[in-house]
Amino acid sequence: MNSQKKITLYYFILGISWIYFSDRALDYFFKDHVLCDNNWANTIKGLLFVTITSLLLYKLINKYFDKLSKSEKDYRNMFDANPNPMYIYDLKSLKFIEVNKAAIKNYGYSKQEFLSKTVLDIRPDTEKERLLSDILSSPKRISYDEPWIHILKNGEQIKVNVHAYEINYKGKSARLVLAVDISEQLLIKEQLKQQQEKLQAQNIKLLQSLETIELHKNKLSSTQKIAKIAGWEFNMETETLVPNSGFLEVLNLDKEEGACLKILKTYILEKDKQKFEHFISSFNIGITVNECVVRFKKEKELRYILFAATLKDPKKQKNAVEGYIKDVTEITLKDQLIHKTLERFEQLALSTNDALYEWDIESSVIRLTGNIDSIMGYGVKEAIHPEKWWVDRMHPTDFIENDNLFREAVEQRQQTLKRKYRFKTLNGVYKLIYDQSIIKYNAQNEVEKVIGSIQDVEELTKINQENKRLLDIISKVNNFIIITDVNGFIDWVNPAFTELTEYTLEEVKGKKPGLLLQGPESNKEVIMRMSTALKEKNHFTEEIINYSKSGRKYWLKIDCNPIYDDNHHHVGFIAIESEITERKLREVKIEKQNEILKKTALFNSHEVRRPLASILGIIELLKYENSESTKNQLIKLLEKCSEELDTAIRNSISLTEFNEEQPLN
């Protein structure tokens, strides 16, 4: 039985009981017959009243409970259908009692998992103490200024705004919580904050840029003055000239002169007026961009002025041009000077064996002048060729190497470049040429043109190679070679010289050989003879004792000759020297042996013993002697001893042996 029926039944029983027993109680206590007769009528009326009021009360209570049930259902729907997570938890056990669908979806737990957990389970350790303190101290209804941190099932932490209400739910003291996830809002808020900071920084930069622009504007005005450049506009219909800032200063005009084209023309030289008229009228026939340089003379000062202009957009302004002027006097005069210099250089090139070229990068054209015929065999003094013509005639191997050299020079912004490469002449033979060039750059640091000269170095290269080969041969010979200048100072020595004397080229260069190498035992007479021959530029051959850097004594045979160039001018001396120390020792040895033979013959005091000993000694020496002069000398001695032996052969005796190990002093 539902509540409304119970209430109505209790009211009905109580009312019937009161009506019935109250009248009986009155009859019992008062025993009045008349009263008793009326009791039943009153009882019937009362019963009817109670019945009607009970039915009415039932209807009212039923209606109230219907409204209450509807309200409860509405509140339930609001709880379950709320897009934000909502949950109810017991304030004592802190367990979840109820959760809505949004909480299940957002947190990732099922309803059963939620109901098995406490509110502490969805919070990090740092938030648990705060929650417990809040439960003990917070009022029944509260919204928090600071967000709370909750943990989802996947472990992710989110920040939520919490609105809590203390309620009585199913007889339990509980708290209804609405948790709004604000993590994304906080992220957006942080991004907005960063964006605002960036915008603020950009505003600051913008203000700084405006200041910089203003500063640059002032600098530009100053730069225009320094560069002698200014803007201008011209209306072709009204022939009105509108000078911009600096225009009057560049041309040294006042306002009236600057605003009138006719007055302006009076300062242009007569020979250039037609050119200027053509420049102005060119915009009437459809030319959109044009320029010209005219000579401008005012107050006896002649200047070169560049007028450059472009046709304005007809949508903005019809029949109008705008442009700039620039004082190009200095540049023009320099170009004229360069042109004259080039002309002189070309004339000079014609008088030498050089050929000149100018390579225009933009047009890819090479202009050749000078001694082209003798170098390339083309029989002309001037020629213009495309860049490909030059490339096709350069030896393929040399082209790759030289192209790399040129690119490296441009990358490093070098002003000059020197190269050697083989170039095909008219008869198809490659000739080695030496190329010296100047690289010119424009204002944008791009290569504008290359100007250079080329020389035929084929014969010179061959001569240098031959000289190098001869030098290599001289460096490897065993003889010692010294080359001096006309005054006898050393210019060059070969490695064999260094090996003998222990002096390097760096040590002896610029010094005289005699002062450096001669010593106490050097023959003074020989030195005098050599000195006299050098003064008289004569050839000489001498033998002399010299000393090495460490003091070692050695004998030298010097063969010296003067050197003359192709014009028979004396340019120095060359001395070819050979060490003869061993030969000199052998000569001393022979002399010692002769002395021993003589002493032996005298000691034996026999006529036959002396010549025989001499013959045997001479024969023994002839076996080991290689020098022809020494051999001739020995043969003469042998003949002499033979004659002595012939007269004393009967009295010959045995030869005393010669001890070869006996030291020579």
Task: Dump pLDDT digits (tens) for 537-564.
Answer: 999 999 999 999 999 999 989 999 999 9
**pLDDT: which is higher, 425 or 532:** 532
pLDDT per position as a tens digit, 148-201: 899 998 988 888 888 888 888 877 888 888 888 888 888 888 888 888 888 888
The residue among 86, 22, 12 whose CA lies nearest residue 51 is 12
In this predicted structure, the answer to whether residue 650 has a pLDDT above a threshold of 60 is no
Identify the band that residue 24 occupies on the pLDDT scale cut at 50, 70 and 90. low
Beta bridge partners of 233: 242, 322
Question: Residue 129 class from Cβ within 10 Å (0-12 exposed, 13-18 middle, 19+ buried)?
Answer: exposed
Q: How far is CA 602 from CA 319, 598, 652, in A?
A: 137, 6, 13
For the entire predicted model, the pTM comes to 0.32
In this predicted structure, the answer to whether residue 654 has a pLDDT above a threshold of 50 is no
The residue among 181, 161, 183, 185 whose CA lies nearest residue 103 is 181
pLDDT per position as a tens digit, 245-279: 677 777 877 777 766 777 778 888 988 988 888 88
Architecture of domain 477-579: 2-Layer Sandwich (3.30)
In this predicted structure, the answer to whether residue 647 has a pLDDT above a threshold of 90 is no
**pLDDT: which is higher, 67 or 406:** 406
Query: Lowest mean pLDDT: which of 93-102, 263-272, 305-314, 654-663?
Result: 654-663
Identify the band that residue 216 occupies on the pLDDT scale cut at 50, 70 and 90. low
- For domain 334-462, give the fold: Beta-Lactamase (3.30.450)
C-beta neighbour count of 361 within 10 angstroms:
16
pLDDT at residue number 442? 84
**pLDDT: which is higher, 217 or 123:** 123
Amino acid occupying residue 380: V
> Once rounded to an integer, what is the mean pLDDT over residues 203-219?
72
**Average model confidence (pLDDT) across the chain:** 79
Amino acid occupying residue 340: K
Q: What is the dihedral sign for C-alpha 247, 250, 255, 261?
A: negative
Question: Residue 538 class from Cβ within 10 Å (0-12 exposed, 13-18 middle, 19+ buried)?
Answer: exposed
**pLDDT: which is higher, 31 or 91:** 91
In this predicted structure, the answer to whether residue 344 has a pLDDT above a threshold of 80 is no
pLDDT at residue number 525? 92
Query: Lowest mean pLDDT: which of 112-121, 399-408, 610-619, 642-651?
Result: 642-651
pLDDT at residue number 471? 62
In this predicted structure, the answer to whether residue 638 has a pLDDT above a threshold of 80 is no
**pLDDT: which is higher, 529 or 144:** 529
Task: Give percent above pLDDT 90 in the chain.
Answer: 10
In this predicted structure, the answer to whether residue 656 has a pLDDT above a threshold of 60 is no
The residue among 16, 12, 17, 36 whose CA lies nearest residue 26 is 36
pLDDT at residue number 369? 75
pLDDT at residue number 373? 66
Residue 29: partners with Cβ closer than 8 Å, 6 or more residues away: none
pLDDT at residue number 352? 57
**pLDDT: which is higher, 128 or 316:** 128
Identify the band that residue 653 occupies on the pLDDT scale cut at 50, 70 and 90. very low
Q: What is the dihedral sign for C-alpha 241, 242, 248, 253?
A: positive
Identify the band that residue 664 occupies on the pLDDT scale cut at 50, 70 and 90. very low
pLDDT per position as a tens digit, 622-636: 777 777 777 777 777
Give the number of residues written for the chain: 665
> Once rounded to an integer, what is the mean pLDDT over residues 136-154?
79
pLDDT at residue number 657? 45
What CATH number does domain 82-181 carry, 3.30.70.1150, 3.30.450.20, 3.30.390.50, 3.30.930.10?
Answer: 3.30.450.20
Q: What is the phi-psi region of residue 124: left when phi exceeds 0, alpha when psi lies from -120 to 50, beta otherwise?
A: beta
500 Cα distance to chain centroid: 53
pLDDT at residue number 347? 63
Query: Lowest mean pLDDT: which of 166-170, 314-318, 325-329, 386-390?
Result: 314-318
Beta bridge partners of 88: 98, 176
CA 432, 436, 439: angle at the middle one, nearest 5?
Answer: 135
In this predicted structure, the answer to whether residue 117 has a pLDDT above a threshold of 70 is yes
Task: Give percent above pLDDT 70 in the chain.
Answer: 75
pLDDT per position as a tens digit, 431-445: 888 888 888 888 788
- CATH number, span 228-327: 3.30.450.20
Q: Is residue 133 within 8 Å of 148, Cβ to Cβ?
A: no
